[in-house]
Chains A and B, each alone.
Chain A
Amino acid sequence: MTIFSSLSMLAATAAPKPMSPILSGPPEALLVLALPILGVILCTLCAIMRVRTRMPAFLTVGCLAAAFAITVGLYLKSGPAPVITSGFEWINLSWGDSAGENSPFHQFIANFSLYLDALTVLWMLFVTGLATLIALYASEYMSGDVGTGYCRFFAAFNLFVFSMSCLVMGDNMLMLFLGWEGVGLCSYLLIGYFYKKPSAVEAAKKAFILNRIGDLGLLMGICLTYVHFGSIEYRDIFAQAQPYIDAAKAGRYSEIPAIVQLIPVLLAVGAFGKSAQLPLYVWLPDAMEGPTPVSALIHAATMVTAGVYLVARMYPLFLLSEIALPLVGWVGALTALFAATIGMAQFDIKRIMAYSTVSQLGYMFAGLGVLTSTGAAFHVVTHAFFKALLFLSCGAIMHGFAGQLDLRKLSGLRRMKGWGIVSLGMLVGCLNLAGFPFTSGFFSKDMLIGEAFVTPGTAPIGWILLLTAGLTAYYTFRVFFRVIVGPVHYEPGDELHSAHEEHAHGDSHNEHAHGDSHNEHAHVEDDHQHHDHGHGGHFHPHAPGWAINTVLLTLSVLSLAASGLYFVPTGVHGGAVPAMVDRSSAAYQSPFAHHAIPEGAGDGGHEGPDHAAETVPSYVPTSIAMEDPHAVEHPHENAGTFLGWDPHAVLFYVSGAVGFIGIFVAYVLHYAGRTTAATARADALLPMLGPIPRWAQHKWYVDEFYNLVVRVPLLALAHTFHLIDKLLVDGLVRMFGAIPRWLGTLIRPTQSGELHGYAAGMATGIAVLLFIVFMLTLR
């Protein structure tokens, strides 16, 4: 396939050179890690002291806000070169001295140090920022659980922020792995927050285990990196990789050992696990069993982008492999499409959002695969805001309607009292997600799709992404048209999604180990603000309070404003996000982008998607875009086109149009003429599609497939092993153990008690022994 050859060529022209890091980074960066830990400790203390107020939430918000403020400070301070803040020694092995070898590689160092470059700061900004906001939101959302559960929630929440910070800020791959697994743990704890609900426990377990599969890939990648480069610290890796980067520049991939080319593939496996890509995505939709703030923060905005972060962070290594980036790109694109098809057929709005998250993560990976790390990073940021917004809005709905999330049972929220801000948030989120023109989602998505067409050989990815964009618009607005607008109708949730029920029991005193109360929804806890909203038509939804509304409003504004991060130039840096990415290890300018910019700059707000690339700052002397003679000489010759036009220029309109079409279809099918909540015009169309909608609704039976292909055989193997262990291994041991007994039984009859028998035995024994001795030795 051409993508391979072209990518190899591309990478040859476009590998970045790292800058040597400054070793004395700002010490306050450590505070970003320390503050969430402080939060954990405080929440734990609250739990021990049996605090029954919202104290933990506010402590958390305080800690995280402080962390955010420090991060902003880091951002303001950040210079062009990465800086390293040393913490303390974690794992530090050295050897060889005694053997007289002095190779510098006879050591293994993984310290608790921070590597701060722009990419780090970018990620930390939205991680801490969103975490603060979502903590505020959760202070209200989780208020039903005030008590131990509340403390537990916020402790895990803080721990998550800590882990995520480690992941992002660590100066070596093991530190990243620490965060990587740490966020996995927090995800596990928070998905399983409603630990009495078997489905939640199941989902938490699934998330952890599937992540572990990816983690193994990452771990092997780390080992391989270490074995080859003799270090797992980023700065060393990048310095060590320099010869290969040079080789890749010249297109001489044969000089790059297979080991090195394998590293990014292994890392990618890790990334696929954490970022819920094919084939390991199945855990993410189930992870929605967790409380919604968790879904918003962990499973939409931050943790799942860790995979993207990993690829971006190790981008120089990914460029060294002929297969790694195409792999990432294709997996991302296929995941995007696949998840979108499932999302179209779901009825649970939170699940729809979950699949859309998978799909959007696919976009990001596709972006990385088509060589636009900037685009991917930008999409990460915009997605973080609007997806968090969408989830939080869903959460508000869920909170208000007793866990109801079925879009067939909710309708016309806009017209209900107190639901205005939620509706607004929903609208803003949906527009962003659908890629409505001039929203931030539109710009970031457009960048990815455009770049897919620009980069030679990746056009199929572009087409897939374009198609997915249409589907995304459709299913996004399907939710909007059915839930927010239309006739007013609502039904309270059943226990399937009843977070409230669990709220009542998070701090449980066990009054309901009896199954019947599950169905009745009768929880008489006085301080609970949802008074008995269970039965028949007497259910009264309660609108969200100030905390939720504030957060929704803030996020709405932010997600709209996020587009500015790209376009509004900040000094010489260009847009904030590109400027930051450019200053990091993910820095990479497609040589084809140069040629794309000027023509595309049609509209006002669209001043220059690749402005940054055009004006590469002079203090980035090693950027290959400037240096590589090859790129300078033939800047345009390999750039792809979109049906003959310049992709960035045309796609601006095309993807806008696709988005409109999607929204329109959703309007026709799900809003126009709809009189009830349960049915819409779309239902009439379904039979025409045969079994496909049903299959899609059942997620293409992937879970069942995995179950059949992986879990069942493994379980069978486990049972077989258990049987072997009991029968064969232990049986053999017992057999050996039984030999003496058996021998004893065999010769016991000689001890008959009869004098003659004994005498005969003696005589025979003497005879036999004489015979043996004489036969064997005397011949």
Chain B
Amino acid sequence: MNPDTTAPTPDAASLLDQWMLGLLVLVPLAFALVVAFSPDKRARATALLGTLAAGLLTVVALARFSWSNGAAFQFEHDVHWLPSLGISVSMGADSVSMLLVALTALLGPICVLASWTAITERVRLYFVSFLILQAAMVGVFIARDIIFFYICFEFTLIPMYVLVSQWGSTERKRAATTFFLYTFTGSVITLAGLVYVAWINAGMAPGLYAGSGSWTFQIATLQITASQHMTLSQQSWVLLALLAGFAVKVPLFPVHTWLPLTHTQAPTAGSVILAGVLLKLGTYGIFRFAIPFCPDAFMHYAPVIATLCIIGILYGGLICWVQEDVKKLVAYSSVAHLGFCVLGLAALNVAGLQGSILYMINHGLSTGALFLLVGFMYERYHTRSMKEIGGLAAKMPVWATFMVFFVMASVGLPGLNGFVSEFLCILGTFQASDKWATGVWGSAGTAIPGATAGNLGPWYALVAGSGVIVAAMYLLIMVGKVVFGPLKEPAGHGGAHGHDEHHGHEDAHATEAHLPADLTAREITALLPLAVACLVFGVFPAPLLSALKGPVDQTVALIDTARQIPPPGTPSTQTAAADLRTLEHEPKEASR
């Protein structure tokens, strides 16, 4: 746990392991510093170098990570910081964290490449913000201390705010402010919930209290306290507080309105990072905090959460259908997609959780790529309205090919990455029902081997599954309009390379007059890794699934335990009922 207690003379490898995660955060920060003090001309290359260095380090980390032991937190390291507040910079990564870190590292260089020509103004500030964002995102995934987590979680807001507000479209100021205030408000309440858990812990755990008052914000400790020593109503409040921040970030249905606005206004790379990683902070938060901290409450309210997800899926999907702005469409599709992701979490079984975590990665890849493509289009035409453009396949065949590919990945075509996760989420939801033995589904006593305990079930899966149809509908309609059909270019868009003046609200885009009609090698380089990843994860998800087995099993075991042992403060009659319920469903467990 504490690396300080390790051998006094660690060799280079163990030293590297110890500082691996710290370096993952520090390298982008260091490069941010370098970029800040290097001339504008070299900013791009330096930033690319920085993201590549971070990527290289991530590769090393991935290689040194013991995947067979994915549930254990590795590369653990504690830097004592503020013991008075119980805060330390404590880091550690399990396989979920590692994969999300890898996603972040992958998207880094891609985003830098994507902003190569699009960003012409205040280049340094742009890349500094970007690198800081990168560091903060990695920090979120590797934090093992709530405050450290929260610091990184919040600190993603500032660079993102800067990115949107400075290099966005016409309404960028409003969008950036909305984004910031919305997510900030939510996360302040989340902080209150987390601090509340820490307080419970300080009061409960005998070793930690006793006048010394040393609080701790260690996630591992608090998780035990929260899940075992809080009553159902306490858990419910904490869950509500946690969701206040995380649901906004995801975003779940009623609190999603910031997302389309921000996405449409953000610069391309900002959208990519926003969709690719930042939204995952919410789902990751739910996975890392909401479920393990409040298992009973989460179980109890899973139907509510699932209902919100399903509303999001259908509602978001239908709204996509009537969008004219391609980017807005993709943004709303994120609402629908992440509905699936959280739905998988709400299923609380292996299939659902596996699917959900995979979904985090897959959505990052495919939707990130879609935003890239939309950005490349926008760079050329300065419009994203489906009314003004169409049939671009004729002019940009390579672009069109990628577009169709990633749309298919996004639609959930089997063989591409989206399907595996979407299917597992739906399957998990489908399975997760206690009601199989009754009602229309079958006669009592029938063995339902594939079902798991839970409060969702086939109806949820069916309704959510219809979202798949809706997804096909809106994405293909978009492809039909933008990629296929007769060529349509905005008025005044002269020739293959030209671009009109009156569309640009900023004159920042002066350089892309040099852009050829179709994608350049640089742009293809940005897209290709994503495409390869989409394909590989669609066909060979097995390594990912086995990597995720540990953490997922652990979470499910936690849930199982919670199912059997009611939270403290539950009246004894309920305990008896719970025992009965346990007996009914898992006779082996109960006898154990």
Q: Which of B318-353 contact A (CB under 8 A)?
A: 318-319, 321-323, 349-351
Q: Is there an interface contact between B450 and A100, defined as CB atoms closer than 8 Å?
A: no
A95 contacts the other chain (CB 8 A) = yes
What chain B residues lie within 8 Å of A229 (beta carbons)? Answer: 449-450
The answer to whether the Cβ of A219 comes within 8 Å of any Cβ in the partner chain is yes
In the complex, chain A residues 78-98 whose Cβ is within 8 Å of any chain B Cβ: 88-95, 97-98
B477 to chain A, nearest CB (A): 7
Q: Are B540 and A205 in contact (CB under 8 A)?
A: no
Contact of A90 among B431, B443, B539, B552 (CB under 8 A): B539
Contact B351 A201 (CB under 8 A): no
Select which of B319, B408, B560 is within 8 A of A99 by beta carbon: B560
Contact (Cβ within 8 A) B476 A88:
no
Q: Which residues in A have their C-beta under 8 angstroms from that of B430? A: 220, 223-224, 227
Question: With the chains together, A725 CA to B332 CA distance in Å?
Answer: 11
Q: Is the CB of A257 within 8 A of B351?
A: no
Nearest A residue to B442 by beta-carbon distance?
A257
Dominant secondary structure of chain A at its interface with chain B: helix
Whether A223 pairs with B592 at a CB distance below 8 angstroms is no
Q: Chain B 417-441, CB within 8 Å of chain A: the 1/0 string? A: 0011001101100110000100011
Q: Is A719 an interface residue (CB 8 A)?
A: yes
Known: A92-B545, A93-B351, A718-B322. A195 touches B446 (CB 8 A): no
A733, B427: Cβ atoms closer than 8 Å? no
With a CB–CB cut-off of 8 A, which chain A residues contact B423? 91, 174, 219
Interface string of A99-114 (1 = CB under 8 A from B): 1110101001000100
Q: Is A489 an interface residue (CB 8 A)?
A: no
Task: Flag if A182 contacts B458 (CB, 8 Å).
Answer: no
| Residue pair A733, B182 in contact (C-beta under 8 Å) | yes
Instruction: Say yes or no for B93: interface residue by CB 8 A criterion.
Output: no
Are A99's CB and B469's CB within 8 A? no
**Closest beta carbon of chain A to B229's beta carbon, Å:** 22
Q: Specify which of B349, B397, B469 is in contact with A216 (CB 8 Å cutoff).
A: B469
B: number of interface residues (CB 8 Å) = 81
> Which of B47-55, B263-271, B482-490 faces chain A?
B482-490
**Number of chain A residues whose Cβ lies closer than 8 Å to a Cβ of chain B:** 71
Q: Are B458 and A99 in contact (CB under 8 A)?
A: no
Tell me whether chain B's interface is mostly helix, strand or loop, or mixed: helix
Nearest residue (CB) in A for B256 is: A729
- Contacting residues, chain B, for A718 (C-beta < 8 A): 318-319, 321-322
Nearest chain A CB to B258 CB, angstrom units = 8
Evaluate contact between A185 and B408: CB separation under 8 angstroms: yes
B350 near A105: Cβ-Cβ < 8 Å: no
Q: Which residues from B are CB-within-8-Å of A212? A: 468-469, 472-473
Whole-angstrom distance between the Cβ of B521 and the nearest chain A Cβ? 12
Give min CB distance, B592 to chain A, whole Å: 6
The stretch from B32-40, B206-214, B388-396 touching chain A is B388-396
Docked CA distance A182–B483 (Å): 20
Known: A93-B350, A224-B458. A105 touches B450 (CB 8 A): yes
Query: What CA separation (Å) do A220 and B441 show in the bound complex?
Result: 14
Q: Within the complex, which residue of A201, A216, A220 is in contact with B480, where a contact is CB–CB below 8 Å?
A: A201
Given contacts A99-B560, A192-B484, contact A213 B469 (CB under 8 A): yes
Contact B318 A717 (CB under 8 A): yes
- Beta-carbon nearest neighbor of A513 in chain B: B487
Closest to A518 in B: B486
Within 8 Å of chain B (Cβ to Cβ): is A777? no
Residues of A within 8 A of B549 (CB): 93-94
Residues of A within 8 A of B322 (CB): 715, 718-719, 722
Known contacts: A205-B476, A227-B451. The answer to whether A733 contacts B257 by CB under 8 A is: yes
CA distance A201 to B552 in the complex (A): 42
Q: How far is the CA of A189 from the CA of B408 in the complex (A)?
A: 11
Measured CB to CB, the residues of B under 8 A from A are 178, 181-182, 254-258, 315, 318-319, 321-323, 349-351, 354, 391, 393-395, 397, 404, 408, 413-415, 419-420, 423-424, 426-427, 430-431, 436, 440-443, 446, 448-451, 458, 461-462, 465-466, 468-469, 472-473, 476-477, 479-480, 483-487, 539-542, 545-546, 549, 552-554, 556-557, 560, 586, 588-589, 592
Q: A220-B430, A227-B458, A259-B436 are in contact. List 16 more A-B contacts (CB 8 A).
A: A88-B540, A88-B542, A90-B539, A92-B542, A99-B589, A181-B419, A196-B485, A198-B486, A223-B430, A227-B448, A228-B448, A257-B446, A259-B442, A721-B319, A733-B182, A737-B178
Question: Considering the complex of A and B, which 7 residue pairs feature the smallest CB-CB distances, nearest first?
Answer: A105-B449, A230-B449, A257-B442, A178-B414, A227-B450, A195-B484, A718-B318
Q: Can you list 14 residue pairs at the A/B interface with Cβ under 8 Å?
A: A95-B556, A98-B556, A178-B415, A180-B414, A181-B415, A192-B480, A195-B485, A216-B466, A220-B430, A223-B426, A227-B448, A258-B441, A513-B487, A725-B257
